[in-house]
Amino acid sequence: MEEPNFDLKKILVGVDNSDDAQKAFKYAIKLSKITGAKLFIVTVLEDHDMNVYEVLDDDFIHGKREDVEQHVQEYVKVAEEAGIQDVQGVIAEGNPGEVIVEDVIPKYHPDLLIIGSLDVKSPKKLFGSQAASMAKHSPISVLVIR
């Protein structure tokens, strides 16, 4: 049986405004401090949240992207203030589960993905569907936080 990889060099954490994502972020900070791993903080600009007029409006998309960039930089600042030496914000666009697994992981090569289990959209809609999808399709280990 293959031994699990505890030699973490890079940790990727997915963030949004949900309580579970906040817990995942705090967990990632602690694990990064313990292991000395670089911390990548990813958030996804979901294009399905926009209507057709918003998608066609460059100013709207630009404003929304600036909001997301500011949001990620706030997470980076918190991580730095917590003592993380090597931290980087990452912004992706599209369906979070697909984009993180198909684009972000191959680009940044993290050893571990940490995500919250619930989505920010609605209490009834489990990010669990996204979390389950990422856990199923991810080429790396996934830690789902509740």
Domain ranges across the chain: 10-145
Give residue 73's pLDDT.
95
Query: Which of 96-100, 128-132, 141-145 bottoms out in mean pLDDT, i.e. has the lowest?
Result: 128-132
Give residue 49's pLDDT.
52
Length of the chain: 146
pLDDT in tens, 12-69: 999 988 899 999 999 999 999 999 999 999 999 876 554 444 444 444 444 567 888 8
Give residue 66's pLDDT.
85
- CATH architecture for the domain at 10-145: 3-Layer(aba) Sandwich (3.40)
C-alpha to C-alpha distance for 48 and 146, rounded to whole angstroms: 25
Give residue 60's pLDDT.
45
Give residue 115's pLDDT.
96
C-alpha to C-alpha distance for 37 and 32, rounded to whole angstroms: 5
pLDDT in tens, 78-127: 999 999 999 999 999 888 899 999 999 999 999 999 999 876 554 444 44
C-alpha to C-alpha distance for 27 and 21, rounded to whole angstroms: 10
C-alpha to C-alpha distance for 87 and 83, rounded to whole angstroms: 10
Q: Which residue has the higher pLDDT, 117 or 11?
A: 11
Give residue 126's pLDDT.
40
Give residue 45's pLDDT.
85
The string of DSSP codes covering the chain is -PPP----SEEEEE--SSHHHHHHHHHHHHHHHHHT-EEEEEEEE-GGGS-HHHHH-HHHHHHHHHHHHHHHHHHHHHHHHTT-SSEEEEEEES-HHHHIIIIIHHHH--SEEEEESS-SS-SSS-THHHHHHHHHH-SSEEEEE-
DSSP state of 121: S
